[in-house]
Chain A
């Protein structure tokens, strides 16, 4: 049972009321701001899914494959078989869990960890991307494809909710809350101890009776399932899926960057990472691509400048804040509190 602190309750109420605040303050560009919030929540969910295994030293560059499998399976089943996403999404999730286990089992049995594991999963991402591009008659290749519209507005049957941004916001919020709940559940399980131990010393973990392979497969399966679900919902919201937006190396790398920037070991770390990276890239995009001075100065090269600055800032963050933004802030607070406590003890003692 999860108990809520007063701060958490205020936070939850604030999140529930946020769309109305947006409507009140930014009535003119309500759709744009809601879109930003929905993006942040959907990516937060995917990032949280990745961090479930990332925090145990299982640095996967393959999660762009899982989001892709989830999104493409759902859309293709809908477009070509008329299968509702209510069934298509479970199929996509199961499929991506199967792929995760197929790749994970040999890796974990043969003790492929660290850089080698990252490379194995990188290959998986590329494999899925090549499949998508190769099957261009169905998937639209590198141009991507769209789920067939079902009627004009919102449809429960086709799980199409994008025309109603407020509804979309609540869908994304529910998904995000589910992700946080899952993170906390894993954090409080015995599996967490087992995985922590296996991350620190696999031999010692096996010698105290931990089935390291099984534990790793469990968390990998869960993580892949969450990313597939996130990818599928993302596709339903965007009403467009493409290898660049939801399946591929770019997605994999964004996931890893954002979680590391936000904080790997704290429940809201991936969320902070999503807020940070989404806002940063959006600000840079609007600020730099929209700037007339920069365009005069650099010509069309200015269009790529925001991505370059974005990359540079991420590198700096990872170097100077290895615990992530939220992790570092919490550490500062902890230190200040300790100093205050010591001072209080000194005064009274």
Chain B
């Protein structure tokens, strides 16, 4: 579904990604693991067009993503749930969801998608008139995921959904990820919380200072010494 080949990217003179190649197949949940500064967020920003790649090729279902402006990426079926949720804090929950269906194609199916998202996350329906910025972290994450689903995407990019949340809430958030997974969405998730994310993902890539260091099935990585020592403190 999504394929990256030899992607280089960075900010000004600083290069953050070096020759990253990876792929996500339809129906899979793929995780990208790495410490702070490994380039995980940069990777997602490159995929969703917020940061233009310097070199390399990326395609979504055969369509090149390199020349598409960020606001058009959604039309290819990719929805990005940005780091630290990035809701519109002074808009209501429902207005946030409405923004998720901003593109004309999605706007037509707004009512239907809204029902669907409310069905999936009833909590959002209870809170629909509340300002998004006043909800708890876990609820905000739910709202951010709901907003991404409003456009009816095929691939959902999740950028550290567990960031800044209490351990109990982290477990709930991974439960959300599992739920959208079972709804048939393909998921690419970037995480530092290796133990939790490998329970949800099928496959994973290990990113270190901008390079892919290892890859394999979730079980393989969970068993690998490198991952256990570096990220799980075992």
Contacts and interface: CB of A to CB of B under 8 A. Distances in A.
Contacts of A197: 88, 91, 99, 102
Interface string B173-208: 000000000000000000000000000000000000
A206 B98 CA distance: 14
Contacts of A110: none
A193 interface: yes
A208 interface: yes
A313 interface: no
A190 B147 CA distance: 16
B102 A207 contact: no
Interface string A167-204: 00000000000000000000000100110110011011
Interface in A202-223: 203-212
Contacts of B99: 193-194, 197, 205, 208, 210
B151 interface: yes
B69 interface: yes
Interface stretch (B10-18, B23-31, B79-87, B120-128): B79-87
A210 B87 contact: no
A208 B50 contact: no
Contacts of B102: 190, 193-194, 197, 208-210
Interface string B57-92: 000000000000111111100011010001111110
A190 B103 CA distance: 10
Given A193-B99, A194-B102, A207 B88 contact: no
A209 B87 contact: no
B50 A203 contact: yes
B95 interface: yes
A193 B71 contact: no
A210 B71 contact: yes
Contacts of B98: 193
Contacts of A211: 69, 71
A201 B86 contact: yes
A195 B80 CA distance: 19
Interface size range on B against A: 20 to 34
Contacts of A205: 88, 99
B80 A207 contact: yes
Nearest to A212: B71
Nearest to B70: A206
Interface string A123-136: 00000000000000
A209 B73 CA distance: 7
Q: Classify the interface of chain A: helix, strand, loop or mixed.
A: helix
B100 interface: yes
Contacts of A203: 50, 82, 86
A207 B69 CA distance: 10
B42 interface: no
Given A204-B86, A206-B50, A209-B103, A196 B71 contact: no
Interface in B108-138: none
A208 B100 CA distance: 5
Given A193-B99, A194-B102, A200-B91, A209 B86 contact: no
Name which of A196, A207, A210 has the most chain B CB atoms within 10 A of its CB: A207
A165 B144 CA distance: 57
A291 B46 CA distance: 67
Name which of A194, A206, A211 has the most chain B CB atoms within 10 A of its CB: A206
A212 B98 CA distance: 16
B70 to A, nearest CB: 4
B48 interface: yes
Contacts of A194: 99, 102
A187 B73 CA distance: 27
Nearest to B49: A206
A62 B169 CA distance: 47
Sorted nearest first, the 4 A-B pairs with minimum C-beta distance are A204-B86, A209-B103, A209-B74, A206-B70
